[in-house]
Amino acid sequence: MRKMNFKDVFIPTISLFIICVVITAALAFTNAITATKIAENEAQSQQESMTIVCPDASTFEEAYTGDDGTVFVGKNDKGEIVGYAVSTVSSGYGGQIKVMTGIDTSGSIINIDVYYNDDETPGLGKNTSNEDFTSRFKGLVSSDKVVVDKDYSGEGQKVDAVTSSTISSRAVIDAVNTACDIYNTEIIGGEN
């Protein structure tokens, strides 16, 4: 066997190491610059979404954060509670679906907003974020389960799915049901 030359082993190793260090430093630098901006973007998209589902509120305060979702209390200019925005996540056809559900103080759904569904099929599952679909949730009550028309067997509140996208529609409904559960246990349950 040929004797391993010190130069043969050392130089490639050290040059690869230097490249890794330089690249990592460059990444850390870019991350430091962009991280705040990325966080801002996320917060902004959440804020927009909350305004859609709870239009009467002017400020939102985080009231509960758990593994299953986050509840924001919406207050108007006078500081009165006008509703709750609950952000939940579920898994759709291609990936995750994020839904914001607005619930008023009497427990009925004001509106919902599907603010992330980009892993769904364009033209099919992606249509779940259209107002056409989300408006079907308006006025439902949070105390009863929502079910998609295909699963409907006389119990719960029926919502028609987006054509040919039962899985994505079901995912949105799951997220809304989770939101209602959180609302009932954390907000209603918490008050008593």
Q: Where do contacts with another protein occur on this chain (CB under 8 A)?
A: 8, 11-13, 15-16, 19-20, 23-24, 26-27, 30-31, 34, 37-38, 41-42, 45, 68, 89-91, 93, 95-97, 116, 118-119, 121-124, 164, 166-167, 174, 178
d(CA 40, CA 35): 9
How far apart are CB 93 and another protein at their closest, in Å? 7
Structure tokens at 107: 């427990």
Pick between residue 104 and residue 134 the one whose CB is nearest to another protein. 134
Nearer to another protein, 41 or 143 (CB): 41
Smallest gap from Cβ 35 to another protein, in A, equals: 8
- Bridge partner residues of 158 (DSSP): 147
Helix (H) or strand (E) holding 37: helix 6-53
Residue 3 or 78 with smaller CB distance to another protein: 3
Task: Please answer whether residues 112 and 183 qualify as being in contact, where contact means their C-beta atoms are separated by less than 8 angstroms.
Answer: no
Facing residues of 114 across strands? 99
Q: Is residue 86 within 8 Å of residue 182, measured between CB atoms? A: yes
